[in-house]
Chain A
Amino acid sequence: MRVALFLTCVNDTLYPDTGRAVVRLLTRLGVEVDFPAAQTCCGQAHYNTGYRHEAEPLARHFAEVFGEYEAIVTPSGSCGAMVRELYPRMGERARAEGRGSTLAATVAPVVPKTYELTEFLVDVLGVTDVGACYPHTVTYHPTCHGLRALGLGDRPLKLLRAVKGLELVELPGAEECCGFGGTFAVKNADVSAAMGTDKVRNAESTGAEVLCAADNSCLMHIGGTMSRLRVGMRPVHIAEILASTEEGAAV
């Protein structure tokens, strides 16, 4: 099976380790991974900040770059939700504005074949034990768009429970937002920071070494708060845990 890695602009620029982990993990599971170099950004930041029209060319670009692949896999719940939930809505809005069905028709092919990583593993590949080994205590934060927009449910937990050596501890208030929220983090910095601090304190109370999530944007906010508060925990993307084996860490 040949899939396209939609890494996202944030991961490409700031978290290449996550990208390498996805490649290593999927390759190990017999998937042929391609990284279409023309990919840039899905347009989520534009859309969610109120610049829907500015997001449209990015959606069209996405559809052009990824249209030919069997499946598109992304290690980001929120960027996955952008494509799956909001691209169709953008098409509908364009139609409602009297601009015809072109946008809706352009994005339609990529919508159903875009998968968040843990969804792809569990639903498409049908695996929960990916042969990983990660001898650490881990707590899992379900990020909002993965949890509520994509409905990832317990897929990430199933995958983590099957990891050799990993001790999974429950995060209190797990389903509460960490306070990132894209431009919310800077537009309402005080509230965002208060939410982030509460999330970090909850994580700290578990005694885990690692806080794991399936979205690096949220982890950037949580991790930045952790290091500012000098909390001795690491934020780690779930792909990096699942890619780790007894031979060594993912990257």
Chain B
Amino acid sequence: MSGTYLGMPAFPQAARDAVRDRRLRGNLRHATHTIRAKRAKAVTEVSDWAELREAGRRIKDHTLRHLDRYLVQVEEAVTAAGGTVHWAADADEANRIVTALVKETGESEVVKVKSMATQEIGLNEALEAEGIRAYETDLAELIVQLGKDRPSHILVPAIHRNRGEIRDIFRAEMSEWGRPAPEGLTDTPAELAEAARLHLREKFLRAKVGVSGANFVVAETGTLVVVESEGNGRMCLTLPETLISVVGIEKIVPTWRDLEVFLQTLPRSSTAERMNPYTSMWTGTTDEDGPRTFHLVLLDNGRTDTLADEVGRQALRCIRCSACLNVCPVYERAGGHAYGSVYPGPIGAILSPQLRGTGSDIDASLPYASSLCGACYEVCPVAIDIPEVLVHLRERVVQGGPATRRGNKVLLKPARGHAAERAAMRAAQWAFAHPGLLRTGQRLASRTRRFHPRTLPGPGRAWTGSRDLPAVPAEPFRDWWQRTRGGEDGAE
């Protein structure tokens, strides 16, 4: 619901510019193909991958089915361990809660662990409006923040940038936010990382408030889990006096035993590592160690509505690994920004129209941002059948029908702009119900074939703009079959 995404054009328009941006296409192709190959290798190493995937699916489905019970268990466990639990129905409420909590500390800056939930609610912008500065500390998020940019990938939000662009951003922007980039900074990865390390170090040591999300919340003990690669998360989770974690309600796993499954599948699916470098876990507060105050903000923001839909609810199994982005041929060419959401790629195409509804142009266009090739489903470590949900949401767009919005059952109207398509689909259905009519149409096409143009006007240009039309044959198969009695006459 971040304000930066309001008024986005529909996906096809947004994708058009990306497709023509040669540098962007090059960056994305290189990055997605590299990680795609690494992931495939990391997954092949595990002999029981299919079983782990099935276990992950079952654990998530079970938790979602009994979410009411597990949410209460989390609240009780976190409270017992010295934390405070807040409930946020939507983005505005979550932002109000976090802003008030920061203000109570008297601080005017916070350090942040990379978090999709806080991106989703536009927390940085909300804090900024109240005079509180949020510093992103994940390297890629830092690049995005310094570049006044938007994330374009769940795991590597600056995937659309290459090294040279990152160096330019560091040189131009770091001084505005704190320690400037070192003199003579080059675009070698080691130098760029060192510049970020020096820039961030002063933030870590100064910050009194940390803000995070969580990859998992273990219900039986009320333990939050963050997995990361850079160690910035560990800094933010341990150094500040106050820690505020904003977590979507679907992040719960019942037990530590369940966590075991995801700590195997998540790193291999996301960074293609056997194990991620840093896994931080905390349970409420501990005397003399880590933050003295801990707040957990449980975020709904459309999740309960999504849960009410029996086909679409599987999207809530997502563990944000981004394997589906890295294999998606559409994402590779359109880039993350075209999806108009912090959740790009295949998972974004089914998550955004459910969390936000299908009311806006961009959200109504997202279910069509796929050729239904199925590569996303194949790699998903929790077996979300993304093509199935895409088609289900297409139905919701063209047909409307029952849905849940803010906890209420509503009957959605069909989206605008599909009237001609609907008429064509119904006409085709009618024709296909009458084989004789189909044959008449086929014969008409065959007999007039000499007059068929090579390119089409109007909407037909969508095909002939890049592809020639197939030549219509002299007769349809059914006429040949009838004429030759299935080829028995030897006539061809």
Contact = CB atoms under 8 A, between A and B. Distances in A.
B177 interface: no
B473 interface: yes
B435 A251 contact: no
B321 interface: no
A12 B482 CA distance: 13
B161 interface: no
B16 interface: yes
B429 A189 contact: no
Shortest beta-carbon contacts, A-B, top 10: A181-B371, A50-B394, A224-B467, A193-B466, A177-B373, A16-B477, A186-B462, A19-B477, A148-B374, A144-B373
A94 B4 CA distance: 40
A182 interface: yes
User: Interface SS of chain A: helix, strand, loop or mixed?
Assistant: helix
Nearest to A22: B477
Interface string A193-226: 1111100000000000000000000001101110
Nearest to A188: B12
A184 B368 contact: yes
A144 to B, nearest CB: 4
Contact of B467 (A19, A89, A190, A228): A228
A101 interface: no
Contacts of B11: 188
A48 B481 contact: no
Contacts of B25: 194
Contact of B375 (A39, A45, A51, A148): A148
Contacts of B470: 14-15, 220, 223-224
A196 B477 contact: no
Interface in B418-447: 421-422, 425-426, 428-429, 431-433, 435, 438, 442, 445
B391 A50 contact: yes
A251 B477 CA distance: 12
B185 interface: no
Contacts of B466: 189, 192-193, 196-197, 225, 228
Contacts of B311: 93
Given A35-B486, A225-B466, A51 B472 contact: no
A146 B166 CA distance: 42
Contact of A37 (B372, B391, B473, B481): B481
Given A50-B399, A61-B433, A228-B467, A190 B16 contact: yes
7 contacts: A15-B470, A24-B487, A40-B435, A49-B425, A50-B399, A181-B373, A186-B462
A183 to B, nearest CB: 8
Given A12-B477, A187-B12, A221-B467, A49 B421 contact: yes
Contacts of A20: 477, 480, 487, 492
Given A40-B433, A58-B432, A195-B329, A179 B371 contact: yes
A193 B467 CA distance: 8
A17 B466 CA distance: 25
B478 interface: yes
A148 B378 contact: yes
B372 A9 contact: no
Contact of A188 (B15, B394, B435): B15
Interface string A45-81: 1111111111101100100000000000000000000
Contact of B432 (A23, A24, A41, A190): A41
A166 to B, nearest CB: 22
A1 interface: no
Interface in A1-45: 7, 9, 11-17, 19-20, 23-24, 27, 33-35, 37-41, 43, 45
B268 interface: no
A188 B390 CA distance: 15
B294 to A, nearest CB: 42
B200 interface: no
B433 A58 contact: yes
B352 to A, nearest CB: 16
Contacts of A24: 487
B112 interface: no
Interface of B: 11-12, 15-16, 19-20, 25, 310-311, 329-330, 333-334, 367-375, 377-378, 388, 391, 393-399, 421-422, 425-426, 428-429, 431-433, 435, 438, 442, 445, 459, 462-463, 465-470, 472-473, 475-478, 480-482, 486-487, 492
Given A20-B480, A191-B330, A194-B333, 20 more contacts: A13-B476, A16-B475, A19-B480, A23-B486, A48-B372, A50-B395, A50-B398, A54-B426, A145-B372, A145-B374, A177-B373, A186-B459, A189-B462, A189-B465, A191-B333, A193-B467, A194-B19, A195-B329, A195-B333, A228-B468
Interface in A154-185: 175-177, 179-185
Nearest to B29: A198
Interface of A: 7, 9, 11-17, 19-20, 23-24, 27, 33-35, 37-41, 43, 45-55, 57-58, 61, 89, 93, 96, 144-145, 148-149, 175-177, 179-197, 220-221, 223-225, 227-228, 251
A184 B371 contact: yes
Nearest to B328: A177
B438 A9 contact: yes
A228 to B, nearest CB: 5
A46 B371 contact: no
A13 B372 contact: no
A48 B370 CA distance: 11
Contacts of A196: 466-467
Contacts of B16: 190
| Most B Cβ at <10 Å: residue of A12, A27, A184 | A12
A243 to B, nearest CB: 11
Nearest to A42: B432
A40 B432 contact: yes
A57 B371 CA distance: 24
Given A9-B432, A50-B394, A224-B469, A188 B480 contact: no
Nearest to B421: A49
